[in-house]
Amino acid sequence: MKHDYTLDKDSQPPGKVSFTEDGVRQRTESAASSPKHTVSDNRQRSPPRHPTLFGKYNHSMQTFKPFRWSSSQSHPLDNAGFFSFTTFIWMTPMMWALFRNKLEMSSLKLSPLDEAHSSAERLQRLWEEEVAKGGLEKASLTRAVLRFQRTRLILSVIVGVLAMGAAFVGPAILIYEILNYTEAPEQYPLFHGVGLCFALFTSEFFKIFFISTLWALNLRTAVRLKGAFSTLAFHKVISLRGHSGISTGEMISVLTNDGHKLFDAVLFGSFVLASPVLFIVCIVYACYILGYTALTGVVTYLIFIPIQFGLARLINVFRWKSIRITDCRVRTMNEILNSIKLIKMYAWEDSFEKKITDFRKKEKKQLQKASYVQNVNVSITTIIPTLATVLTFIVHTSLKLELNTPDAFTTIAVFNTLRFCLGLLPLSMKAVAEASVSIKRLQKILQIQNPDPYLFQKKDSDSAIVIQNATLSWAKPASQPTPLPAQPMG
């Protein structure tokens, strides 16, 4: 049976947000809403129509202006031009005030565009659209999250690819040309060498600039998505009348840790798509410079990449086990607090203390295992480039092939560039994997349906309480009597 619930701003006190019991919208008050208001409320709540195709990007497009001297926006981030946004110059007045001990808490506020309330409303609307398309069981919160950051994600991947391209051009192509110039400087004019040095500086500058741009873009997107995720989870949890189907530990994780995991996934997730571009380009160029023997180093990288992915999955397994133990510990602590008088009366403090201590030890053990595996994963990242370079040169020289200075140093530079790719990829994959688990956990909460309400408040009734067709007893009777209609009581 389909239920329609509404969000009527005129009938609710300020600050109240309503969510449905099936992941759509449900009021937290006891008063039941009337179905006749559904159409009008949905019309009031429909997103604003923009007169042009890119109307909703009007404010964001202002950021692409190199400099913005004046703006109607109150927040310095909204006033920032392109260079101020990408280099974080807009934070200079704040940092200077902090240095002079004149920074007040009233000046530390988010941009109105980044507030959790507005972001949560948008994510809620996207989730409602998913529910409307395929039903509650087939709706995907992952698709809603991707749609929430779709434009920014595409732009982030483009900027990441440009950053990877700049990171490749300097060490690989320009250093190779500079080494060739140093071997025979008389064959080239002086301006050729000066131009190569200037080009190397330019490539490194653009690498840093694009990475800074990527960082600034992802940070703002992560703040919006984290606020939307946490607000949506909070309002859904407080609207639940029963917690069947989800454990207390999972609910606590959604309200505390999962928002940070989603933040990290947005911050590093674009590298998952941008890093393979750098990896492929480096492989092709290394084979072009050194020959087929460069595949030795490539194979070394390819062997260790699945190992790192396996270690990342192992970390997730240990973290999931720790979450289950945390759930048991929290549930036991709730039972202890609820029955503390009984425990004190029978002097059971020591036994329960030992039980909680055992839970903590098991939880600590799982977290330690996850940390050990993470350290191994990081150590492999630093070892692989050196190991790949050494094995490549051993194979190359053992085959009696020529190895000159430009080829050797260029190969080393290319493999060191792959270290940047290999260092970010496991971290990005780990963040994305943990965020995927967090999204599934929130989707599980959003899919919990509250039971149909059996109490109704009628404003046009002359009776305070009306009981109809009810059977009241302290114990279950042997035979159910025929229910009689109750008379209204004043």
Confidence (pLDDT) at 205: 92
What pTM was computed for the model?
Answer: 0.67
In the predicted model, is pLDDT for residue 109 greater than 50?
Answer: yes
Question: At a CB cut-off of 8 Å and minimum separation 6, what does 96 contact?
Answer: none
Distance between CA 306 and CA 349 in Å, rounded? 49
Which residues are CB-contacts of 474 (< 8 A; sequence separation ≥ 6)? none
**CB pairs under 8 A, 24+ apart, for 450-456?**
450/21, 450/26, 450/239, 450/240, 450/241, 450/242, 451/241, 451/242, 452/3, 453/32, 455/30, 456/32
Instruction: Output the pLDDT for position 22.
Output: 40
Instruction: Look at 332 and 28; give whichever has higher pLDDT.
Output: 332
172: Cβ contacts below 8 Å, ≥ 6 apart = 282, 285, 410, 413, 414, 417
User: In this predicted structure, what is the pLDDT of residue 206?
Assistant: 92
Please give the full DSSP string across 227-289, using - where no structure is assigned: HHHHHHHHHHHHH-S--TTS-HHHHHHHHHTHHHHHHHHHHHTHHHHHHHHHHHHHHHHHHHH
Which segment of 32-46, 300-314, 354-368 scores lowest on mean pLDDT? 32-46
Q: What is the mean pLDDT of residues 457-479?
A: 71
Q: Which of 201-205, 232-236, 469-473 has the lowest mean pLDDT?
A: 469-473
Cα distances from 318 to residues 253, 309, 372, in angstroms, run: 15, 15, 11
> Which pLDDT score is estimated for 29?
37
Place of tokens 């310095």: 76
Half-sphere CA count of 267, side-chain side, radius 13 A: 12
Q: Domain ranges for the chain, please list them.
A: 1-47, 59-103, 136-446
Backbone phi, then psi, for 465, in 5-degree steps? -135, 135
Superfamily of domain 136-446: ABC transporter type 1, transmembrane domain (1.20.1560.10)
**How far is the CA of 129 from the CAs of 126, 136, 138, 140, in angstroms?**
5, 10, 12, 10
- The pLDDT value given to residue 9: 38
Q: Each residue of 395-445: pLDDT tens digit?
A: 988 888 888 888 888 888 888 888 777 777 777 877 888 888 888 888 888
Q: What is the pLDDT of residues 148-196, one digit of tens each?
A: 988 888 999 899 889 888 888 888 888 888 888 888 888 888 888 889 9
